Chains A and B, each alone.
Chain A
Amino acid sequence: MRKEFAQSIINIAKSYDKLIFITGDIGFNALEEVKEVLGNRFINAGVAEQNIIGLAAGLAKQGFHPFVYSIAPFIVYRGYEQIRNDITFHNLPVIITGNGGGYGYGIMGATHHAIEDYGALSLLNIKCIAPMINNDVEKAVKTAISYNSPIYLRLGYGSLNNKISEFNDWRQLLTGNEITIATIGSIGINSYLAAEQFSGKADLWSIGEIPFKEIPSEFIDSVNKTKKLICIEEHVKRGGFGEYLVSKLIENGCSNFCLELLTAKGYPSGTYGSQNFHRKESGIDIESIKTSIIKMAEKREQ
């Protein structure tokens, strides 16, 4: 999504002079044009994420709308206290952009993964916006700007050959009447490719932001009808999307359903590989998701 992100920034910055872009020395072969177009509104602040967050807060105080950009774990975890004290205490409109959310950086290793990112930031009441496919990115960026408050923009990788509706907080991607599936961010691609095998059975929803606004009544109706819910995310279970969704469903009086939370499991074997390797170890690759859907369907027959 880096290229789509860069293009979106270029498009928006041309007519939005409050936009300012700070990178933590990341963006080779992706942000060169952003640098050229933004001129003095493009800042490479070096490998110093704590400082970058403070800088962004200062710039936001001066009326700018800063994007800060780095590899997801670096920008989320290194400056966590700065995010809390400098940005959220003052509700400043800084858009923290993390590239490679989840296991996105694959073989680069665990230091480069972010599988606790939106959970950590949700503790600070920051909204996470997570596009699913490359084509979602421009609208996701515009949505992030429109909130005019602290945002975490979680970028991943991937596209889908199938045409799906445009990015939104709630999107129903497949309709079915046996199992309800909810997913967030780019793992939605795996979820889609697995669920489409169960035509007419899997009711698949892609969620674009957490915390989300009201759950659509159609989604609650779906869970009430299927009584089967699978939540899929590339993030650890604790503090994740699945836990949050389930608590919200219960608050809405929807509590009678079988549940499976498919999440990132960390590093079960202690070894490293591609993004798909780690997804497979966590049971969120396409085949594992299919197996989980079948198991859930069998449960219903019991």
Chain B
Amino acid sequence: MYNLKTQINNISDLFDISKEIRLNILDLYKKANAGHIGSSLSCIELLVYFNLYKSAENDYFILSKGHAAAALYSVLNFKGLVSEKELATFYKEGTFFSAHPPAKGIEGIPFATGSLGHGPSLAAGLALGAKINNTKQNIYCLVSDGECNEGSVWEAAAFAAHNNLNNLTIIVDKNNIQAFGFTKEVMNMENLSERWNVFGWNTAECDGHNFYSIEKAFDKLNKEKNEKPKCIVCNTIKGKGVSFMENTVDWHYLTMNDEQYKIACEEVKNCKPEEYIKK
């Protein structure tokens, strides 16, 4: 078992964890004076739910949108796989904790990511391997909606469906913003859930910040009687939890000054639980 910092008795406990992780991420980015804050904030609940809460020890989790590495590192810290001391090296010279997940040096990170569109193929390989080995493993792969611009995502999607990889779950962090603009203006990926569906996947949509909504969608997928792989399209907000970062392209890259950091932390500390655990 993981040495979790907090006992999880109920799905509503995940709210306190995501809040702590959100604060931890802000702290990491502030100390590093680094960007990609908005991208990490949009997928915290997804990482907490799928990586921290749902993943068993022999499962695999790939953060294909590697630019949200700080969120992953914080979750691994919460799981007891990464120490505070290690986490504090984020962005520093000689660290394993680079801005994107590394190939080696961190337990719980199976593959280096950062160039978009690699995760789904890697995950499909892991899923196929688990099937052939007859091991009960679940493979989770978190992608962004902008990442779905990549052709390789759809090569993997077609392959996984054709090979009945129902041990594979793709989680799409649909925050509607990519590196240089709103997704609908850069490359409109509307009806994303339907696109995965016509590729042969069981799909569901949810509010990607509300743990009950995520659970309901995932339960629906798990009740499907066929062997299709699972895709859960999660509607999220880039920069979630910090009002001046929410839904802006800028906070894909910007770094926080002291005043902004202070405000951001206050807002997270005073956030409304019902946004995260409303039934």
Residues of A bordering B, CB below 8 Å: 20, 40-41, 43, 45-46, 48, 50-64, 81-82, 85-86, 89-90
Contact = CB atoms under 8 A, between A and B. Distances in A.
A98 to B, nearest CB: 19
Contacts of B121: 50-55, 57-58, 82, 86
A51 B128 contact: no
Contact of B124 (A40, A54, A82, A89): A54
Contacts, number: 97
29 contacts: A20-B132, A41-B132, A48-B155, A48-B159, A50-B155, A51-B124, A51-B152, A54-B120, A54-B124, A55-B159, A56-B125, A57-B111, A57-B122, A58-B122, A58-B126, A58-B127, A59-B125, A59-B128, A59-B129, A60-B125, A62-B126, A62-B129, A62-B133, A81-B118, A85-B112, A85-B115, A85-B118, A86-B121, A89-B103
B123 A58 contact: yes
Contacts of A56: 125
B130 interface: yes
A9 B104 CA distance: 31
Chain B CB within 10 Å, residue with most, of A40, A58, A64, A81: A58
B118 A43 contact: no
Interface of B: 103-104, 110-115, 117-118, 120-130, 132-133, 151-152, 155-156, 158-159, 162-163
Given A40-B132, A85-B112, A51 B155 contact: yes
Nearest to A64: B129
Contacts of A20: 132
B118 A63 contact: no
Given A82-B118, A85-B112, A51 B156 contact: yes
A55 B156 CA distance: 8
Contact of B152 (A40, A45, A50, A60): A50
Given A85-B115, A86-B118, A61 B125 contact: yes
A46 B132 contact: no
Contacts of B129: 58-59, 61-64
Contacts of B162: 46
Contacts of B113: 85
A89 B128 contact: no
A138 B97 CA distance: 43
